[in-house]
Amino acid sequence: MVEKISKNFFLYLSKNKVLNKGAKKWGLKLGASQVVAGTTIHQVIKVVKGLNQKGLVCTVDHLGEFVMNPAEATEATDICVQTLEAIAVSGVNCNLSVKLTQLGLDIDRSLCVNNMLKILEVAKKTNNFVRIDMEDYSHYEQTLEILAELRQSYPNVGTVIQAYFYRAQDDLKNLKGVPLRLVKGAYKESGEVAYQNKEEIDENYLTIIKQHLLTGSYTAIASHDHVIIEKVKQFCKENNIPKTQFEFQMLYGFRADVQEEIVSQGYTMRVYVPFGKDWYGYFMRRLAERPQNVSFALRGLFSK
């Protein structure tokens, strides 16, 4: 009960426009620096280098979402392009994750698609991969449509499917061969479209992971849940699915010991490393997922 209230509270805070705006001016506060790798490209590349040295590969995300101003969407696109260039120049093992609402999806679909095309062209030239993070249900359909459009010219783009949606298994049928990240789902969604209880979400999560793996498609299992991870390892062994056909992913600052242990077992572990001034919504969603993470915020408050 307390957990549910806390989850809803942090999800509510994550959408608060005034706090989101204010936080951009504060710099990393409330302990966010433990899960956000700085505000500049230079800082994030440095963090990625350190993670690479431990055998972890990465994907970086320039934080920002629900942008309503074309200039901001263009600025975010430029930063994504510069990030891909910095990845290439520094030689780090790292790809890029993006959010379509940061690139203008809520302003104008064609602006967003053009911004994605600019990013994908640089990714192609630098031999890199771009993952479109999946946002809330109101953007789900459009994201899948845009992905299909982009993949006609750029095979170096993929997206994410969230196991809490009833439709996840059906959607996967149209995504055979597409490199997907599979997750449980981070947004607050209605019971009309999404499972609400943990057992059902976990069950559907394992089902979609197996479904995508069995089609031979490259699959990223993005979860901090050791029970799920062990079940996936077991399933892959039993079905002779090679370690080159899948990877595990976790967020920067979460279960670093488990991340390294998985690497030591010969699996690929990709760390999702967010950076940028727009850290507030991301940080609040992490607090909503796991109330224990509130200790990050409290430590942050008292260590200033």
Question: Within 13 Å of residue 220, how many CA atoms lie on the same side as its CB?
Answer: 24
- Residue 73 labelled as part of a binding site: no
Supply the minimum distance, in Å, between the C-beta of residue 258 and ligand FDA.
Answer: 8
Q: Which is nearer to ligand FDA, 73 or 220 (CB)?
A: 220
- Residue 43 labelled as part of a binding site: no
State the residue for tokens 């967003």: 112
- Residue 38 labelled as part of a binding site: no
Q: Which is nearer to ligand FDA, 109 or 290 (CB)?
A: 290
- Our answer to whether residue 181 is catalytic in this structure is yes
The DSSP code sequence of 74-115 is HHHHHHHHHHHHHHHHHT-SEEEEE-TTTTTTTT-HHHHHHH
Q: Which is nearer to ligand FDA, 9 or 85 (CB)?
A: 9
Supply the minimum distance, in Å, between the C-beta of residue 167 and ligand FDA.
Answer: 14
Cα separation, 63 vs 78, in Å, equals 13
Check: CB of residue 158 under 8 Å from CB of residue 178. Answer: yes
Q: Which is nearer to ligand FDA, 86 or 222 (CB)?
A: 222
194: DSSP letter: B
Structure tokens belonging to residue 223: 């979860």
- Residue 162 labelled as part of a binding site: yes
Backbone angles phi, psi at 206, to 5 degrees: -65, -40
Q: Which is nearer to ligand FDA, 95 or 249 (CB)?
A: 249
Structure tokens belonging to residue 40: 């500049």
Supply the minimum distance, in Å, between the C-beta of residue 169 and ligand FDA.
Answer: 17
Contact positions toward ligand FDA, by CB under 6 A? 133-134, 160, 162, 183-187, 222-225, 249-251, 254-255, 272, 289-290
Check: CB of residue 153 under 8 Å from CB of residue 103. Answer: no
Supply the minimum distance, in Å, between the C-beta of residue 137 and ligand FDA.
Answer: 10
Supply the minimum distance, in Å, between the C-beta of residue 194 and ligand FDA.
Answer: 10
Supply the minimum distance, in Å, between the C-beta of residue 284 and ligand FDA.
Answer: 13
Crossing angle for the helix pair 70-90 and 109-125, nearest 10 degrees?
10
Q: Which is nearer to ligand FDA, 183 or 287 (CB)?
A: 183
- Residue 250 labelled as part of a binding site: no
The single residue of 61, 181, 202, 270 carrying the catalytic annotation is: 181
- Our answer to whether residue 133 is catalytic in this structure is yes
Amino acid at 261: E
The single residue of 61, 133, 202, 278 carrying the catalytic annotation is: 133
Residue 132, SS3 per DSSP:
strand
- Residue 185 labelled as part of a binding site: yes
Structure tokens belonging to residue 110: 């064609």
Check: CB of residue 23 under 8 Å from CB of residue 280. Answer: yes
- Residue 134 labelled as part of a binding site: yes
Provide the H-helix boundaries in the chain. 2-14, 17-26, 41-53, 70-90, 109-125, 140-151, 168-173, 198-214, 226-238, 256-264, 280-289, 294-302
- What are the binding residues? 99, 134, 162, 184-186, 198, 223-224, 285-286
- What are the binding residues for substrate? 99, 285-286
Name the residues annotated as catalytic: 133, 181
